[in-house]
Amino acid sequence: MEQLFKKLQEANVGKVLMNEYLKNHTTMKIGGPADIFVEPKSIEGVTKTIELIRAEGVPWRAIGRGSNLLVHDAGIRGVVIKLGDGINDLEITGNKVRVGGGYSLISLATVISKKGLSGLEFAGGIPGSVGGAVYMNAGAHGSDISHILEKTYVVFNDGSCEWLTNEDMEFSYRTSLLQKKRPGIVVEAVFQLEEGDRDIIVKEMQKNKDYRRETQPWNYPCAGSIFRNPLPNYAGQLVEKAGLKGFIIGGAQVSPMHGNFIVNTGSATAQDVLNLIKHVQSVVNDKYGVSLETEVEIIGGN
């Protein structure tokens, strides 16, 4: 690892750290150290990082703003690549928006709403990066990324780069091609939006943002929705019907505000959260015969 660390530093790919704790980079404030942590300063920095990693045969993975992640207490072996400030360019031309994968989704929704562009109102209050949102087809309030994405620039695990169209991405509920068939990093996206009434758009986005603030526990460290909705049922409603809101294991608690959120009350470990997830899944399955699948991405461990 030290040899790779030195090569990454010498290549000037961006910020390079050893044994950086992922709790500093996730909204749940949980997670052990990554052997090497890289925050590239450009798309070229991303591709160069992957080139050097592959030459050393070291495992790696990418993260965005850490809003949909639970990282094991043991951390992550290999390299973690974080898309941040170096991958956050924004260009608005007419109804099209070209934006870096590290750009904040909330910030993007705010910026374009003020320009009278419609299509991202649903993202008001959704934490995370543009890249993460495209990767998992983030959505809310009856819409999602698949409704507005024209194309996306992806760096694949073999270091190759390619523009993928909306159709290429094979979007479905909270899923895309990149999660299963062709793993890769979304470093840029182009969205096709529509002109609209600025005041109406801003008002709609603010309504969505207020709804999240009033119904979801973002005043505590959390990772967003823990379970996928087993439609036509909703995970939060099933958890609430099962009497599990407020249930605690260690420092992890099913939010008293929303059944599909697990919050870090201040001292939670990843194992606390995992134990609580298993307990909720078991109780809901026993009571209602419904298997809850996790939406949060669980990574790391030995």
Q: Domain 88-215 class? A: alpha beta
- For residue 254, give both structure tokens: 């099913």
- Please give the pLDDT value at position 33: 97
Q: Domain 2-82 class? A: alpha beta
pTM value is 0.89
- Please give the pLDDT value at position 18: 97
CATH label, 235-299, candidates 3.40.50.300, 3.90.78.10, 3.40.50.720, 3.30.70.20: 3.90.78.10
pLDDT, tens only, 43-54: 999 999 999 999
pLDDT, tens only, 251-263: 999 999 999 999 9
* Residue ranges, CATH 3.90.78.10, the chain: 235-299
The residues annotated as belonging to the active site are 174, 225, 295
**Dihedrals phi, psi of 120, to nearest 5 degrees:** -115, 15
Pairing of the two strands 69-71 and 297-299: parallel
Distance in angstroms (rounded) separating the CA atoms of residues 93 and 97: 6
- Please give the pLDDT value at position 174: 84
Contact 19, 31 (CB under 8 A): no
* Residue ranges, CATH 3.30.465.10, the chain: 88-215
- Please give the pLDDT value at position 42: 95
Consecutive H or E run containing 186? strand 184-192
pLDDT lower than 50: segments of the chain: none
